[in-house]
Amino acid sequence: MAAEPKGSAISVLDWQADRVTLTDLQLGVTDNVIVDIARNVVKLGIDCALGWPIEFARFISAQADQAQADLVHGSQVRPSGQSNEPFSGDLEFRRRLAYRETDRQIRLHTGRWPLSVSTDRLAMTAIRAAGLLSQLASVGIDAVRSGTGLVVEVYPAASLRQWGFEFSGYRASTEIRGQLLNQLEVKAPWLDVAAHRDALIESCDAFDSLVAALATRAAHLGRYFEPSREQIGLARLEGWIALPNSPLETLVEPHAGQSETVV
């Protein structure tokens, strides 16, 4: 997902027993397209932060309250209950505001920080995602940020790392994407992308949407690092990245009889 339809893509996967088909791949997708597709799938994965760090939200709220108090009472005076004590915006403090609990878990499992939704340009995309969640909720779709409903937050690059792929530079190189797709098809011979193969190689957004759909399948099966009992409250507020915790090969269930669709 990008802040605008340009740069946004969606892949629809149909899961039937031991065969998985990429039935639809669209570039430049609008919110309306996503909402329409969401009505007909069992799980919808979104590659974007679905919330902000709660400490960041509280910090911004406190700053606004302080500015209002300054305006009304003067910068040297605070109403009862409001503090004018100085504080340090040091690295530790900034990191608490920059990263969500799920981001810290991603670093724990992968060794790398995701982009910060509060201090990076990702925030522009997250605002769009928040609007999309409101549209999904308005048509009766369970879009809870923790991922327990129809919608779940996914992270393609981290998912590739979990599945053992070497993907450095893949977003900038059609050659690397072509190699990655070949490796993906070796690990997942049940995956049929033939109708959209060229587009997956040509567009990094298309390729990411395919990986996002596969990660969404892992979330649907419960094969991801779920929030603990202590973390679930934060996950509902901040969002939670469904990072796969089982091999790519385990995403098919040969004896399952029902067709399911994830995007």
Q: Tens digits of per-residue pLDDT, 63-111?
A: 888 777 767 766 554 443 445 677 788 888 999 999 999 999 999 999 9
Q: What is the separation, in whole angstroms, between the first and last Cα of the chain?
A: 12
- The string of pLDDT tens digits covering residues 43-55 is 999 999 999 999 9
* Residues in CB range of 184: below 8 A, 6 or more apart: 165, 191, 248
Query: E strand or H helix at 105, and its extent?
Result: helix 101-110
- Residue 124: pLDDT band with limits 50, 70, 90: very high
| Rounded (10°) CA dihedral 261, 190, 253, 221 | -50
- Beta strands 191-192 and 19-27: pairing type? parallel
* DSSP assignment string, 178-190: HHHHHHHHHH-TT
Residue 256 pLDDT > 60, yes or no? no
- The string of pLDDT tens digits covering residues 156-210 is 999 999 999 999 999 999 999 999 999 999 999 999 999 999 999 999 999 999 9
- Beta strands 191-192 and 9-16: pairing type? unpaired
Q: How many CA atoms lie within 13 A of 58 on its CB side?
A: 9
User: Does the model's pTM come out above 0.75?
Assistant: yes
Mean pLDDT lowest among 11-25, 71-85, 121-135: 71-85
d(CA 1, CA 21): 22
Coil, strand, or helix at residue 261?
A: strand
Q: What number is the average pLDDT over the span 215-238?
A: 97
Domain map (residue ranges) of the chain: 9-53+99-262, 56-95
